[in-house]
Structure 1
Amino acid sequence: MSQQAVEATPTPTTMAGGGGRGMTPKREVDALKRKYIFVDGPVDPEVALIRYDLPFAPSDPKRSLKLRRRLGLPLDERAVDPNVRIVIDSFITPRAWHDEAGVLWVQHGSPHPVSRTETVETHEKLRRRMQELGVQRTGICPLRSLLLAECFLEVIRQVTAECWERGLLLLKIHTERTAAQTAHRELFESRVGHAFRLALKGEKDTSRVQQDIEALKRRTEELAEEEKVLRKECDELASNGEEQMLILEKLHADEITAIKKEGVQKRNQLEQMVALPLPL
């Protein structure tokens, strides 16, 4: 079974009839691509959970009859409600491929209801597929979600085959649930991405702060060394200043002593001069 058929958004749409007359080959191919999913061949009934009709060649009915005869299947004369076909084709896109002769083959989802036994067989097939793929029964598992989505489409197909109105209602519910699940997944991924960006920003900020701290530590050490040098210079200047002060004080004291001594000598000389008698 094509994975695209399971993951296709189930939106009920009216399927167009045969290709329009007068269409160019390119337009005809585009129209076929819009109507079908092109695959390599028919679906494998042992693998696919969705039941499909027997393939048929729209342009060569004789080939379809030959295929039925080769498989030993009688001609299916059961009537199919067009509404059932339209609803089923809206969420199980018909498969198409070309054989070696270039003949187009088409395979639709089965429009016929199934028995209880066939439903049980589908359930067993689901369990077998989960075991073969090693699907986890709990937690987030994309493979389990894919298989269950395919199985649910088969359930919708079975309901539609019995009553297309109920099938259409169930399909709308499934579409709404799928849209809500997609929105929740996108919201979760967005929040995870936002948290991851915040974590990266926090790591960058932490790295920048650590670099700033290291730079400040280095600057502190440099300033401490400068302080030591300046303190040493201050101590040397203070010591030299004290020595100079002592020398200057000693010189000043010597000058004062000399001046005082000279003053005493001058006073003595003056007293001697005053004490001499005046000449007559």
Structure 2
Amino acid sequence: MSENIFKLQQLNSLFKSKKETKVDENKKIPSESLIQYSNQQEATLQQIKKKQSLPVPTLESKPTIDELLNSLIKPRDWEIDGRRFMQTVSIVPPSRDDITNLQKLLDERLVSRQAREYPLCPIREELFGQCFDEIIRQVTIDCQERGVILARVRDDLNKTIVAYKTLYEGSMPFSLQKQLNAEDGLNKLDQQITKLNETKQQLELRKLFLTNKKEALERSIKEKKDANEQRRKAEIEFLKYQNSHLESYQKQVNPNKNQ
């Protein structure tokens, strides 16, 4: 039971660590990504916020590939010595090698970053998210409509994941409390079992004592009964002998009485 509680706490810590990573990720130099970006360029905070807040344009407005990609996949930024830099998604059409190497790069990153298959792994989720975004980039350059549909699928999946995480985090205190209550109940049952076993042993000893006492009483009663029977038999034999002796004496004293 305590092992299950540890697993729940471990999952909760994973979610918290991922949140803290998201808070700090814009302040550090970004690591290598599966998404292909353009060359970095220095930008102001206002320019970065403007680029990152671009809404997805309607296809009827015939947006450029640059505008559409920047709205579907947000630019990334970081700060070095007070200077801010930004990278937007590359608009270079993917080559056949880019497409075939994406799976290979994903597998290599999963191994190099030690992504776990179980339990929930933020590293694995991040890498698969990058892979999906790179697929969206490649598809959007080839066909804008398909890219927009894929982006909507991605956003729906992210919303579902966020909803499940919210439900999970909300249920964590309840689950932990239930686990603790169950463990407390088991402890009480164990104590009750121990107490009942002790009572059972005491009763078995009491039973053994009473059984021995009963057998001793039965032997004593039997011995007394046998002794009484022997005594009564002896008395009867004595009385018979005495009676016979008296009858003989009477005949000798009064021989004519019985005639």
- TM-score w.r.t. the length of structure 1 is 0.46
Larger radius of gyration: 1
Q: Which has the higher helix share?
A: 2
- TM-score w.r.t. the length of structure 2 is 0.49
